[in-house]
Chain A
């Protein structure tokens, strides 16, 4: 079975600072994909960043980057220069072949002015 664990239910960060959200997963598959989604209050889930497991290079998307440690099955999200608009629930998700996303329980991030 595939499981995704986000061990930080809530986090806060000062505006302009850097924060890292952790995610670990468990799978016996070798080929899979990892995603971070952001869900602002009362808004839809938005894709933040994607990582292919076969790529060793960590994905980056502007202020968002990941630290992908395949052997450790770890996929953390780093947000640099945090902005007020980054306040949201962040979900880590895993997908192998097929269509089924496996989500973590989410981390609620608050950016403090």
Chain B
């Protein structure tokens, strides 16, 4: 069964550095998402992406964050000038359509900011 894959599984970065988290969505899916889960807290929506542009974003997704689909397969989340509070598990997801369609999640990238 096709899967969403995320790399790396664990990223350790110094505070203030830029980090790029990578995702390969399921190939026939059109909608892509990023979520984060701070340890011990609920999974929170960051952003959705469709047709090469952001379709929806939460208040968490500020100017520090950006997303990109640089080629036909990858979907990336960039965090500029990381902060300690950016430490979390970041999940990528994809779906065929929006709304009622289930979103398929990757294994997540654990980001640790030192």
Contacts and interface: CB of A to CB of B under 8 A. Distances in A.
Interface of A: 4, 33, 35, 37, 42-47, 50, 52, 91, 95-106
B41 interface: yes
Nearest to A105: B42
Contact of A44 (B42, B44, B106): B106
B100 A45 contact: no
Contacts of B58: 100
Nearest to B33: A99
Contacts of B4: 44
A45 B48 contact: no
23 contacts: A33-B100, A37-B105, A44-B105, A44-B106, A44-B108, A46-B105, A47-B102, A50-B100, A50-B102, A52-B100, A91-B43, A96-B99, A98-B98, A98-B99, A99-B33, A99-B45, A99-B98, A100-B45, A101-B35, A103-B35, A103-B43, A103-B44, A104-B42
Interface string B96-114: 0011101111111000000
B91 interface: yes
Contacts of B55: 98-99
A45 B56 contact: no
A98 B95 CA distance: 12
Interface in B3-59: 3-4, 31, 33, 35, 41-45, 48, 50, 55-56, 58
Contacts of B41: 105
A70 to B, nearest CB: 16
